[in-house]
A and B are shown apart, each in its own frame.
Chain A
């Protein structure tokens, strides 16, 4: 039987506010344990939460950018459960009146377009971090456990998609597009590596065309877009195999852990019984009420979003749709492109070609984002200018790119250090050509006998003697002149 997969993503994003969700503590990452805390985020008796207005604003802006309806009346609820990383043993979250509902993300999958619905976006507080010492590093069997509350109370935005995603590729594209949108808003770092963007995926399969849902598994520990795609592909295959081989009991409602190294998912915990979180409106926080004027005021502040930018790149720089898509995949990529074009003042397509060619190759190899390298728009613009001026050839440009990428040295500096400037002196080239003609008399004969291919060989020899630095146009011209003599 042919199956299709049904995927929904729950994405948690840490908001880039200066202070925590319900207190004034800093959200700075990486400080000594329990130094970014106060009575409120430690849940000390008598402390009370006060909502961070900036965080609320960020969520509404995100909702507007994602085409959501904004609830003008919204509530914080308490989600009650005991766990040592939760200072109050309840999490302040949202329940039936979240800030945003009914949004969407349109995906351009190259050969087709698809639209993924967004069920809701809500605001909550993050938990602390547990470190289990001894045993297997899990709470069970640990000698003792430590808690760091620095992260407790950092504002978290949860974005829940509809189960509209059908392939691992769409899931990845959805998550990437979401990241690009949030980046353009500046509401979060949205870094999967740093944990400011955390993706959980619900996946089930069903006979193609069926309207019913199969039993879903929730996948956790997806620490990159790549692992999101790989984990889903693995899990879909596992479920498909189970059904094809008559083992439907292998698919149960459960949480599965993705092991990046082994490339498999395995049971983390089964949902034997559903948690009863006993949600109720938090009496310590007054309901949030907004006017539509306020919402429109925020809408008017929205920056250019990735889709708009893509259209503009096509219009303004004459880029084909594919290139425009890739260059707007992240905010940093688009910013780099535009900045380079501005500095270079030459053909934007040349910039696009370099970025999507050599640059993307090195970024992928190193697993880096464009803004995490030593290369800046100035580097690329100068490199292009050196080529345009004939100081270096394209071949040399490709040669010096890795060093520029690794060291951050400007191309001019590398070229000078290595003496890689192009030889464009006619006299010098003429001497070299004389030498080539002398050493390859038989080839010269072949050329004169009408064998065109021989010309290319002679050019190659001249380039060899100049160690690749000879100006190719000049070599071509002089060689032809000499052969016709």
Chain B
């Protein structure tokens, strides 16, 4: 087994035992990147020099007998939507092609402080708007399981990098499913924590009330380990929750006895591919066999979730993305006639179609005379969905559903039909609207393509979903990997 194939916990042990150095691990991952990146195209920017320097520092510490944490020396990919000081941060957009932040986001800084080795910044749908990474302003990323297919999105680069062993773990951001859906399509573990649990400071905003940073990992154990170092109150983020962070690895217990698992019938209904549904149903049997109580439940207002999301998220985005105007940073049209011309052409040339579509949708929804009918109404729907979830959680400890209604689709298949694309997130969006934590774990394949199982918890219920996900992983015993051709 190569080092790049290993998990965080496996590598950590080897590093502590001095079987391998951080340099060895880093070089192994970079050799893998060299081998497969041409096909997968996970990265927008590869930061090998930074990585080797970080690895050197970790090795020094270990050699000096200093204590290092479980993330020290672990090669990590960062979605290019999180600011990294001195390192280009594009958000997958031409408008930020030349943007070099002057500060590092809190989440990434927390990991730097733990000694991670940053392999690079990963590709994404422009400003995290999309479900396939085809909306990247640069190039699409490909699914390691089938290079003709999408990895999901918007954090497709981060998901593909971990699935292709181009990073041991990665960070993504999830506004409507942007971590869980690509994790599902790439056959890895991806978690969106409770809104406010991980600081958003330095995460370039798409929809501020929905955005949340989370990890992509190879297994549930790694997910808990990373979460331990991502979570924490940040005085720079007003929406950051103040809690005493638990040790999430304590939830890694294989015990499903008496756990009440609800299956929202709306998330197993039409729109879910029958093959995917079958795989998920099989997975559910694992729960019942191991002592969990599985029963159907209902979240009646979920059917309005997608519509509400496509009002709220674009509305916030229309305001969040206003600052990309050519005045202070990023792209500016070279020969503007006047201020208005500079604004209009900078944004017309700098933004891609999907971003422009959502800015227009959001601007419209907030306009005088329409606000109540659209934004006001969508917020009411949001409240109803929160109530639905609260009610379900009176009866159940966690809720389970497919993560994505389909397996990975072909590149180009849905790009011309935005509405079809929007449906990719039908199972994940309600979780963002309610601010809840959700995790996607692999639960089988359809035609050789992975299917993900979504486990949803109460607000701040990360421990419960980790326990259920871990137990599932242990009992399901899935260890399929994509077979990638090495092209040097």
Contact = CB atoms under 8 A, between A and B. Distances in A.
Interface string B324-343: 11011100000000110001
A144 to B, nearest CB: 11
Contact of B363 (A48, A89, A278): A278
Interface residues of A, number: 30
B315 A280 contact: yes
Interface string B226-260: 00000000011111000000000000000000000
Contact of B236 (A50, A51, A82, A283): A50
Nearest to A76: B238
B322 interface: yes
A279 B376 CA distance: 12
Interface stretch (A36-44, A301-309, A327-335): A36-44
A147 interface: yes
Most buried by B among A51, A82, A88: A82
Most buried by B among A49, A50, A78, A90: A50
Contacts of B101: 44-46
B322 to A, nearest CB: 4
Nearest to B211: A283
B89 A45 contact: yes
B83 A87 contact: no
B200 A48 contact: yes
Contacts, number: 97
A277 to B, nearest CB: 8
Nearest to B312: A283
B interface: dominant SS = loop
Contacts of B375: 280
A47 B201 contact: yes
B89 A44 contact: no
A394 B233 CA distance: 70
B366 interface: yes
B99 A280 contact: no
B323 A283 contact: no
A276 interface: yes
B328 A42 contact: yes
Contact of A48 (B237, B324, B328, B338): B237
Interface stretch (B3-11, B114-122, B202-210, B271-279): B202-210
A interface: dominant SS = loop
A248 interface: no
Interface in A69-83: 78, 80, 82
Nearest to B329: A44
Interface string B361-372: 001001110010
A43 B202 CA distance: 11
A284 interface: yes
B82 interface: yes
A431 to B, nearest CB: 83
B319 interface: yes
A276 B370 CA distance: 11
A48 B325 contact: no
Interface string A132-144: 0000000110000
Interface in A415-437: none
Given A80-B366, A84-B327, A284-B208, A46 B319 contact: no
Interface string A233-263: 0000000000000000000000000000000
B478 interface: no
Interface string A93-135: 0000000000000000000000000000000000000000000
Contact of B339 (A45, A139, A278): A139
Contacts of B209: 283
A46 B82 contact: yes
A88 B320 CA distance: 8
Most buried by B among A51, A139, A147, A278: A278
A286 interface: yes
Contacts of A280: 315-316, 319, 366, 371, 375
Nearest to A147: B327
A46 B203 CA distance: 5
A89 B209 CA distance: 19
Contacts of B322: 80, 82, 88-90
Contact of B204 (A45, A147, A279): A45
A89 B102 contact: no
A42 B339 CA distance: 19
A48 B367 contact: no
B304 interface: no
A82 B208 CA distance: 20
Nearest to A141: B338
Contact of B367 (A49, A90, A276, A285): A276
B102 A44 contact: yes
B476 interface: no
B203 A284 contact: no
Interface in B75-124: 82-83, 89, 91, 96, 99, 101-103, 105
A276 B368 contact: yes
A208 to B, nearest CB: 35
A87 B134 CA distance: 30
B239 A44 contact: no
Given A139-B339, A284-B205, 16 more contacts: A39-B102, A39-B103, A42-B328, A45-B99, A45-B204, A45-B205, A46-B203, A46-B205, A51-B238, A82-B322, A84-B325, A84-B339, A276-B367, A278-B318, A284-B208, A284-B239
25 contacts: A39-B102, A44-B83, A44-B101, A44-B103, A44-B329, A45-B83, A45-B204, A45-B329, A46-B82, A46-B201, A46-B205, A47-B202, A49-B238, A51-B238, A80-B322, A84-B325, A84-B327, A89-B322, A90-B319, A276-B367, A278-B367, A278-B371, A280-B319, A280-B366, A283-B208
The 7 closest A-B pairs by CB, nearest first: A89-B322, A283-B209, A278-B366, A283-B208, A46-B202, A45-B204, A46-B83
